Structures are given as structure tokens and as C-alpha cells.
Amino acid sequence: MATMVKSFAIQGIDGYCVDIEIKMLEGQPATLIIGLGDQAVKEAAERIQAAIDESGYVFPKKRVIISLAPSDKKKRGSHFDLAMAVGVLQQNGDIGAKNLSDYGFIGELSLDGRLRECRGILPMIIAGQKKGVKKIIVPEANIKEACLVHGVEILGFHDIGTVIRYLEGKSIVAGKYQEEKDLDVSGKSLDFKDVKGQDELIEAAVLAAAGGHNMLMIGEPGCGKTMIAQRIPTILPEMTEEECLEVTKIHSISGLLPSGHSLMKYRPFRAPHHNASLNALIGGGVNAMPGEVSLAHNGVLFLDELAEFSRRTLDALRQPIEDKKVSISRVNSTHTFPANFMFITAMNPCPCGYYPSKKCKCTDYEIIKYRGKISGPIMDRIDIQKEVHPVNFFEIADQKSYCSSEELRNKVKSARLIQQERYSNEKGINCNAQMTTELIQKYCGLDKESLDILRETSEKYAYSARVIHKLLRLARTSADLEGVEKIRQKDIEKVLLCRDLDKSNSEMVVIK
């Protein structure tokens, strides 16, 4: 009769339970692992044999067959080691008649029997909870992350020897999670009170944060674009527990959680370099890992020097920006990762970076060609396009700051609360940027004067329907910031001033 133990695997950001069945047969000693495992799974045979020998037991001199079910799903990673080792010992009669059906096992074995930490623990524990597993044994180094899931007893051990003694009832001492101060990864030292001379741009940043809108800043080098972008996460509302779990799962799968770290409570800020590959930005690779768009989920994705990114890479952002998720297809599987982020970008106005100052020597043609590196569909998806003007250091040295991040966050939170109440019955809609066409018609009604202004501007700059919808969403956010029920004419005028790039481009004349 075969022995059955449980372990877990991940596919995308979700986990699933893996039943590991062990059978021993007479014949030439060998260990065969079947069930579409990768190279790390196949090499487990040598690791578990060395670990069992080091723990004081003898690896059976038989033909050992280990099956990982479901056998039609590919499995990767070294975290199946512990489950396979326990199953072998149970099948060989080395562990007493302890019922293992209530247990799940996760952990990589070193050659001396120690348990090494694994990545992707959180989604695997959640999969165990859904499967009804009552107790899950993990490496001590992973216990803090594993304990984020409630309703499952988490037991942390240092090596396989203590695991065996616990299962036999000889030892009941297991690692316990102790509450510690959460790691601050938000950059709390950053504050908007450090920004001076850019009051108009800060107002635009608050408008973007209040409604979850995308934003482009265009201006000379050193005028404060990156400085402001880095501070936008400090004015966003705190994440809910559900959002924290989503972010933590993605970073756990990617192996980016610091050792011993628990729940990520601060919104992520990702700023990939402009030479980042398509797979690095969108996700992919042999094992389909999350990219920067998913690592920025529920936070901010900041692309500096936007025009320096390859056009192919930027155009790949179209679908994630609109759908708030990204699907990566492989021959045998499709992985879907969430990608609900604020898209914040910055770029220079021309190749030399100094248009329209006297320092700029670029022609209109060169400027238009430079800006043309960014396709129209990407520009359509950016709600706010603000020009950033340089500031005089000596004039602003003694100037009072516009506002602190805490004051701005309170304004943003008030606007978000209005939106959450408005969309309380709308599934998947949390802020104005996510409004559907139907909701725009319902909540973004305009009076005749406002509609005439919008129509006139649209005809002048040839706005697409998508841009007009984005302007209406922005106007709704502008009204929410002041707690007004209906969109006013001043809200329409305000958001039309957020399209500086359209005005700048229209002033250029190219002679062929």
C-alpha cells in the first residue's frame, strides 16, 4: 500500500495542493520521481537521500517511486523535498503510525537535513487552507510569512530530524511566530514638504492620486519630476488587508520579500530603468514570473525618461493599463497576474532636454520626432499631461512648502471615501479611474456651458473618445476633492489645463 502526503505548488499567483504518493518495490535500488517535475524536482532524489541518512535513518535500498499529482500540471521548485522525505520514511515504517492526512509539508532540504526557506509560501498556504489542511509544516525562516493566513496551524522547524520527532510525538516544540515591527518599505522619509516651487504640479499629483489616474510630467532635467513621482505613494490611502495580501503574494513568488518579513503594508513603488526588457516589464521567462507591472500592483509604476524606452516595450503596456491585469501564455499553460497600478511617467521635452528655453537648439521636427517615440495609444491612456517648469533655487530657498504628505493624503482619502461609497454596489470599481462607460454617463453629467467648452477643445485638438472619457473621469475626481456632487464648469476648465502636451504639440509647425 502506498503512502500519501501533501505539499503545495504555485501556478501564476495562485497555489494548488499536490498529493505526493510513495510506493516501494523490490528490485534494483533507485529513486524515480514522476509527475512533470522540473530539474529541481528531479534532483530532489539525491537531496532527500543525503538528508535522511544524516538524520539518523537509512534510506531504503529498494526501488522508490514518487508520484506528484495532478500529473498533468508542471511543477517546479525544491520545496517538495520535505514532503517526499517524510513520505519515504512513513512508507518504510521508520515513522510510527502517525496519521499524516491532516498535515501539509513545505521545505527544501540541505544535504545535512536542515530546512531551507522557500519562496512563494503565502499562496501555497492559502491553497492548503482552501483544501482543508489543518496543519502545515514549514522552515523556521518562513514562519512569519506563513502565519499571515488565518485558520491554519503553522509549525516551523529547523531540520528534518525535529520534524520526525514531532510527528512521532517525541517532541512538541515547534517554532512560533512572534509579532515584530513591520518593515517599512515605503520610503517614509520622503515627504511633499520637501518640494518647493511646483505647487501646480503638486495639485496635479493630488488629482491623480485621488482618482487613481495616470500622469505624465514633461520638463527640463532637474526640475523635480522624479522627486514628485517618488512621493506620490506617500499620499495614497493605506492598503486594505486584501490588497496587502495580494501585494505580498506577488513579491513572495518573485522572491523579493526580505528574509523573515511578513505582510507588506505599504504601496509598492517600482521604477525600472529604460533598458528593461519586455519580459522584465510585463512578465515572462521560462517559468512565467511576474514583471514590473505586477510588482507595482496596488502601487505606482514610474517610468523615467519615457522616450528612451523601446517603442515595442511601451506598446506592450497598452493592455495592462486598460485591463489591470496581464496574461502570459506558454505552450502548456497561461498565467494571469494582476496589474492594477498608477502609471506615472516623466520625460524631457526634446532630445537636448531644454525646450522651450534659449538653451534648446532643437528644431520643431526633431522635437516632434522625439515625442513621436511614444505612440498615440499610449498617450491616450495617460490622463494628466503636465509641463514642469524649472525653478530658481535662490528664489525658493526661503519659500514655504506647499503641503506635507500627511495633509495631502487626508485630502486624497476624503475623495476616495466618496468614490468608494458611490461605487459600493459596483464590483471591481474602487475609484474614478476605473469607471465604465455606463458609470460615466451616470455620474459625469455636464451642464450646457461645460459641454460646449469640452466640445470646442475636443474639436481643436482632435481628442479621441477615450481621451474625452478620461477628462470626464478627471472632472469627477476634481469635484470629489471639493466634496461637490455635480461636475462644475470650473472642474472641466481645470482638467483641460492638464493636457499641456496637446497644446505644446499644436504650436509646432513642421515644414517638409
| DSSP for 6-44, written as a single string | EEEEEETTEEEEEEEEEEEESSS-EEEEESSB-HHHHTH
pLDDT at 173: 57
Which pLDDT score is estimated for 61?
Answer: 93
CA angle 115, 294, 337 (to 5 degrees): 80
What is the grid cell recorded at 512?
A: 517638409
Per-residue pLDDT of the chain (512 residues; tens, 9 = 90+): 789 999 999 988 889 999 999 999 999 999 999 999 999 999 999 999 999 999 989 999 999 999 999 998 889 999 999 999 999 999 999 887 567 888 999 999 999 999 999 999 999 999 999 999 999 999 999 998 999 998 999 999 999 999 998 998 876 655 555 555 444 444 457 899 989 889 899 999 999 999 999 999 999 998 999 999 999 999 999 999 899 999 999 999 998 887 556 788 899 999 999 999 999 999 987 778 899 999 999 999 999 999 999 999 999 999 999 999 998 887 767 888 999 999 999 999 999 999 988 889 899 889 989 998 998 889 889 999 999 988 888 777 777 877 899 999 999 999 999 999 999 998 889 899 999 999 999 999 999 999 999 999 999 988 889 899 999 999 999 999 999 999 999 999 999 999 888 777 766 544 44
Identify the bridge partners of residue 347 per DSSP, sorted by sequence position: 218
Task: Say which DSSP state 486 is in.
Answer: S
Closest to 480 measured CA to CA, from 419, 428, 429, 436 = 419
Please state, as a whole number, how many other Cβ atoms lie within 10 Å of the Cβ of residue 483. Answer: 9
Backbone angles phi, psi at 44, to 5 degrees: -60, -25
Residue 185 has a pLDDT of 45
Reduced to 3 states (helix: H, G, I; strand: E, B; else coil), residue 137 is strand
Burial class (CB in 10 A: 0-12, 13-18, 19+), 506: exposed
3-state class percentages of the chain: helix first, strand second, coil last, to nearest 5: 40, 20, 40
Do 362 and 352 touch, CB atoms closer than 8 A?
yes
Among residues 12, 32, 8, which one has the least CA distance to residue 118?
Answer: 8
Alpha carbon distance 492, 43 (integer Å): 63
> So what's the pLDDT on residue 288?
83
Question: Would you say 379 and 501 are in contact if contact means Cβ atoms under 8 Å apart?
Answer: yes
Cβ(226)–Cβ(346) below 8 Å: yes
Nearest-angstrom CA–CA distance, 137 and 143: 9
- Strands 103-105 and 135-139, by their bridges, are parallel
Residue 353, sorted as left (phi over 0), alpha (psi -120 to 50) or beta, turns out to be left
pTM greater than the 0.95 cutoff? no
The pLDDT value given to residue 312: 92
Pairing of β 269-270 and β 300-303 = parallel
pLDDT of residue 503: 75
Asked whether the beta carbons of 253 and 120 are under 8 A apart, the reply is yes
Residue 256 DSSP code: -
Rounded Cα–Cα distance for residues 445 and 476 (Å): 9
Task: Verify cis geometry, omega within 30 degrees of 0, for the bond prior to 70.
Answer: yes
Task: Provide the grid cell at 280.
Answer: 522584465
